[in-house]
Amino acid sequence: MTSSTLKFMSTEREDAQTATDITGTADIGVTGLAVMGSNIARNFARRGYTVAVHNRSTGKTDALLNEHGSDGDFVRTESIAEFAAALNSPRRALVMVQAGAPTDAVIDALADVFDEGDIIIDGGNALYTDTIRREKAMAERGIRFIGAGISGGEEGALEGPSIMPGGPASSYEVVGPMLESISAKVDGTPCCTHIGDDGSGHFVKMVHNGIEYSDMQLIGEAYHLLRGVAGIEPGPMAEVFRDWNTGELDSYLIEITAEVLAQVDADTGGPLVDVIVDRAGQKGTGRWTVKSALDLGVPVTGIAEAVFARALSSSVPQREAGKSLPSGTVSTPSEAGAEFVEDVRKALYASKIIAYAQGFDQITAASTEHGWDIARGDLATIWRGGCIIRAKFLNHIREAYAQNPELPTLLAAPYFAEALADCVDSWRRVVTTAVTAGIPAPGFSAALAYYDGLRTDRLPAALIQGQRDFFGAHTYLRTDRDGSFHTLWSGDRSEVRA
Ligand code: 6PG
């Protein structure tokens, strides 16, 4: 036993300096004790697990133990070696550090002190390609690696997040029950399931975040239109969102939107939202989602517009210069009352369905490319609780995939086709109003354009193929014959088989 390897039992916390040999006594370890890591460690402890805790600087470890040591049984460790020694076999360690180089550093340090068969779980927002690389590198050293997406923010980490673990199924069998026990539960079902091999868990978490971006952007556009067209101020608008939260739109993001809108700034006495600088930040997961979608060739236009809208909001010099640009003739409807509010609600719901449909398409494409065999209905199931995009309507996604696991698009499921049919007129009116009022609504419009694109029998892509053949002899297919064709554009313009 080393001097710093102390076990803090809840019963003896009053005189917490009691030291016992704790070698191999912890069920799980958490390294990286910023808010997310600390809260997950507390969540494990509250579920009855003995949790070894470690942080690069011991200040955070001590703060956790001093403030929340009574949550359960913790084992305080100072070095990675002590941390490893405290864990029972096979060792299970959850890494909760910043994505990128810091994660690599901790994983390598753990691998140096772990034995064959021990398990490292990366619970950060890692880029899935990093997870694929790490899983491979660890497998070569005999160490089992799980890349687990964890969503829910600080509160979810403590009370029950949604967890998306990827890695070998045999590794999930060892840690799955523990992860499921700390996850959120909806109707008794854990919001945690094995996603697939290597980077699948982090991939799915990345798309979750992309959908989160899209959902937030759409809510932002609804707010902008309700305020700019219907003149509803933030306080009363909070009530609109509260009302929406009792129906189809029932979701965490709608719920917190009402909270934010209702918040009064102590200094000015006005709405807090009016004193927050209108430049949205981003840590990168939305951008990663779009980059991956570009590589996969999947149109995630709702997510892309959301990422670009954040970028536009932060384009300070361009916005400054843009302020003097002419609006042209703009007008708002003379009446924008309850009917307009209902139109916006429907436009929001329809656009949200598109965002999910696109995100699930991206997951389908990646699952095929990487051989992950992701069960899409399971994702809808584990996103119903704990995570940021948790929403009542995920139940309908779950049912849609249960009825038809091979659905080509979510929009083809009867429930969603009917929901869109119910919303489409409102949706068109809202996009039209946004355009005539000069209010940017890229999320609503891109979603509607995607919907119309899928509906359209003959797209102008035929003309694009003709253009490509004209300047680059790229050939085209014909609607009435098999094979590839080329027109001799600079010759006699007859057609030849390519
Ligand atoms: C979650 C969140 C979480 C976080 C992201 C978003 O699922 O718990 O998505 O991962 O809030 O980092 O951050 P940005 O908006 O800063 O990109």
Residue by residue, what is the 3-state secondary structure of 17-86?
Answer: CCCCCCCCCECEEEECCCHHHHHHHHHHHHCCCCEEEECCCHHHHHHHHHHHHHHCCEEECCCHHHHHHH
10: pLDDT confidence band, cut at 50, 70 and 90? very low
**pLDDT tens-place string over residues 238-247:** 999 999 999 9
Strand blocks (E) in 98-173: 119-122, 144-151, 162-166
Residues 82, 212, 248, 305: which is the catalytic one? 212
Ligand 1 pocket, mutate which of 40, 388, 389, 390 (most atoms under 8 A from CB): 388
- Determine whether the shortest distance from the Cβ of 388 to ligand 1 is under 6 A: yes
Query: What average pLDDT is seen over the chain?
Result: 95
Q: For residue 334, what pLDDT is reported?
A: 87
Among candidate residues 108, 132, 128, 133, the one with its CA nearest the CA of residue 120: 108
382 pLDDT more than 50 = yes
- Out of 205, 221, 248, 346, pick the active-site residue: 205
Only one residue has tokens 């045999």, namely 170
The protein residue with its alpha carbon nearest to ligand 1, atom 7, reads: 151
Position 476 confidence tier, pLDDT thresholds 50, 70, 90: very high
Atom 4 in ligand 1: which residue has the minimum CA distance? 153
Beta carbon of 152 within 6 Å of any ligand 1 atom: yes
Which residue has the CA at smallest separation from atom 1 of ligand 1? 151
In short, whether 151's Cβ falls inside 6 Å of ligand 1 is yes
Supply 73's token pair.
Answer: 């049984």
Digit-coded pLDDT (tens) for 192-214: 999 999 999 999 999 999 999 99
pLDDT band, residue 303 (cuts 50/70/90): very high
36 lines ligand 1 (CB under 6 A): no
Share of residues in the chain with pLDDT > 70 (%): 96
Name which of 16-20, 263-267, 386-390 the model is least confident about: 16-20
Q: Whose Cα sits closest to atom 11 in ligand 1? A: 153
Atom of ligand 1 nearest to the CA of 209: 9
Cross-strand partners of 264:
271
Residue 216, pLDDT > 80, answer: yes
- DSSP H or E run through 312: helix 301-313
Q: For ligand 1, what atom is nearest to the CA of residue 125?
A: 10
Contact 355, 303 (CB under 8 A): yes
The rounded Å distance from CA 307 to ligand 1 centre is 13
| Structure token digits, residue 364 | 């389908």
Q: Which atom of ligand 1 is nearest to the CA of 213?
A: 15
> Looking at ligand 1, which residue's alpha carbon is closest to its atom 12?
283
Average pLDDT over residues 263-278: 98
Q: Give the pLDDT of residue 12.
A: 43
Cα(204) to ligand 1 centroid in Å equals 13
Residue 47 CA, chain-centre distance (Å), reads 26
Hey, is 242 helix, strand or coil? Answer: helix
285 ligand 1 Cβ < 6 A: yes
Q: Return the exposure string of 460-488: e unless at least 16 CB atoms fall within 10 Å of the residue's CB, then b.
A: eeeeeeeeebeeeeebbeeeeeeeeeebe
The DSSP secondary-structure symbol of 91 reads: P
Q: Does ligand 1 have an atom closer than 6 angstroms to the CB of 387?
A: yes
> Would the CB of 125 count as within 6 Å of ligand 1?
yes
**If pLDDT is split at 50, 70 and 90, which confidence band does 14 have?**
very low
Take atom 10 of ligand 1 and give the residue whose Cα is closest.
151
φ and ψ at residue 302, rounded to 5 degrees: -65, -45
Q: Is 212 a catalytic residue?
A: yes
Pocket of ligand 1 contains residue 314 by CB under 6 Å? no
Contact 373, 421 (CB under 8 A): no
Q: Which helix (H) or strand (E) holds 339?
A: helix 338-370
- In this predicted structure, what is the pLDDT of residue 406? 93
Q: Is the CB of 153 under 6 A from ligand 1?
A: yes
Question: Is any ligand 1 atom within 6 A of the Cβ of residue 161?
Answer: no
Nearest ligand 1 atom to the CA of 389 is: 7
Does ligand 1 lie within 6 Å of residue 71's CB atom? no
Active-site residue, 173 included = no
Q: Which two tokens stand for residue 354?
A: 């598109």
Q: Cα angle at 157 between 154 and 161, to 5 degrees?
A: 120
Residue 9 has pLDDT above 90, yes or no: no
> How remote is the CA of residue 148 from the centroid of ligand 1, in Å?
14
Distance CA 259, CA 330 (A): 32
Give the pLDDT confidence score for residue 1 in this predicted structure.
35
CB of 301 closer than 6 angstroms to any ligand 1 atom: no
Q: pLDDT (tens digit, 9 = 90+) per residue, 308-367?
A: 999 999 999 999 999 999 999 999 998 889 999 999 999 999 999 999 999 999 999 999
